[in-house]
A = this chain, B = another copy of it.
Amino acid sequence: MDEVKVIELIKKTLKFSNENIVKGIDDDCAVIKIDENFYLVATTDMMVKKAHIPSILTPYEIGGRILTANVSDIASMGAKPLAFLVSISLSKEEANEKFIKELYSGLDDFSKLYNCPVVGGDTNKGDELVLSGTAFGITDNPIYRKGEVGDDICVTNDLGRVYCALALYYMLKENKISHSEFEKLCQKYPKIIEKLRKPIARVKEGLLMNKLINGCCDISDGLGKEITYFKNFEIYSDKIFKLIPDDVIEFCEEFNLNPIKVVLNSGEEFELLFTTSKFNKVKDSLKGYSKIYKIGKIIEEGQFIDGEEFYGGGYIHKW
């Protein structure tokens, strides 16, 4: 079984809903209507040690990461984060003062950054480290994964660094490079490693552009997967190329990688992918926070890259 089949099965099995639920499983957040001007948005994201947590991350970074991954979904709805809950299953390896203190310091610092306090949790004993976070937010205008024909499709800041950082990590893990070579490469590509260690959710950006965009999602599984949520689109590799930073280009040359494929498969970037008919207004509103780049348009029918059928990308769990 793979993740796609599991999720399909879950969606088929879960039948009950009620009049409060505006959006269930099919977006970055669930949306619950409280009244005409007030929607609660909620999301959950789980990190399991072997599958999600590169061993080079410090406990502090793990704490920041679980909060960022969840808050990023709130940001992508254009909502204001309210609070965060985190449950943890600790194995013997992590059940010590140093690990716990560092992990929760990371959580505390990032909760301050996003003005999203950690208000609760549950602690457990288990075979491996598992962190499960849930973030809530509020908005009067939840933004879904959609766009109108003719809308520009845009991305904040840049993409590609996380893929490169993970490529480096796997070279180390699979003994293709030594520890000292790894360290040297980290020094050569500091921003690449930084984006893996300390990704940032685009909360301010989501709030600032809420009334100017038609749709949005965050890039957690890679542009190649996220773009397909917008159903009908054409994107262009020369435009995508513009959001690849120089260090990623250099890294791709050094390690013989295709930079467009790198961008399409770079997950946990937490940049926002959005649709708008007001590109210039969005650009102005984000001044001082994030740059934005057009990568294509919403069209009537079909999925294309450079005029050819789109081949997709992104990460899927398999058992």
Chain A residues near B (Cβ < 8 Å) = 1, 3, 6-7, 9-10, 13-18, 20-21, 23-25, 29-30, 32, 34, 38, 40, 42-48, 50-52, 82-83, 85-90, 92, 95-97, 100-101, 104-105, 107-109, 111-112, 115, 117-128, 130, 132, 134, 136, 138, 317-319
Task: For A90, list chain B residues within 8 Å (CB).
Answer: 6, 319
Task: For A20, list chain B residues within 8 Å (CB).
Answer: 82-83, 117
Given the known A-B contacts A24-B119, A40-B40, A95-B6, are A108 and B30 also in contact in the complex, defined by CB atoms under 8 Å?
no
Q: Are A87 and B132 in contact (CB under 8 A)?
A: yes
For the complex of A and B, 8 pairs with smallest distance between CB atoms: A132-B132, A30-B119, A95-B319, A13-B104, A46-B87, A134-B134, A48-B126, A30-B120
Task: For A38, list chain B residues within 8 Å (CB).
Answer: 34
Q: Are A13 and B319 in contact (CB under 8 A)?
A: no
Q: Are A126 and B50 in contact (CB under 8 A)?
A: yes
Q: Are B104 and A10 in contact (CB under 8 A)?
A: yes
Q: How far is the CB of A316 from chain B (nearest CB, A)?
A: 10
Q: How far is the CB of A26 from chain B (nearest CB, A)?
A: 9
Most chain B beta-carbon neighbours within 10 Å: one of A9, A92, A97, A117: A117
Which chain B residue has the least Cβ–Cβ distance from A4?
A: B123
Q: How far is the CB of A215 from chain B (nearest CB, A)?
A: 18
Tell me how many chains of this kind the complex includes: 2
Which residue of B9, B30, B111, B127 contacts A127 across the interface (Cβ within 8 Å)? B127
What's the Cα separation between A48 and B48 when bound, in Å?
A: 13
Q: Are A43 and B112 in contact (CB under 8 A)?
A: no
Q: How far is the CB of A42 from chain B (nearest CB, A)?
A: 6
Given the known A-B contacts A30-B83, A97-B1, A130-B130, are A44 and B319 also in contact in the complex, defined by CB atoms under 8 Å?
no
What's the Cα separation between A95 and B128 when bound, in Å?
A: 18
Task: For A16, list chain B residues within 8 Å (CB).
Answer: 108-109, 111-112, 117-118
Q: Are B44 and A125 in contact (CB under 8 A)?
A: no
Given the known A-B contacts A82-B32, A89-B130, A319-B125, are A100 and B48 also in contact in the complex, defined by CB atoms under 8 Å?
no
Q: Are A44 and B6 in contact (CB under 8 A)?
A: no
Q: Are A104 and B14 in contact (CB under 8 A)?
A: yes
What's the Cα separation between A97 and B9 when bound, in Å?
A: 8
* 20 additional A-B residue pairs with CB within 8 Å, beyond A30-B120, A50-B126: A6-B123, A13-B104, A13-B108, A14-B108, A14-B118, A18-B115, A23-B119, A24-B120, A32-B119, A44-B86, A44-B120, A45-B122, A46-B122, A51-B124, A51-B125, A85-B134, A89-B130, A124-B317, A125-B317, A132-B132
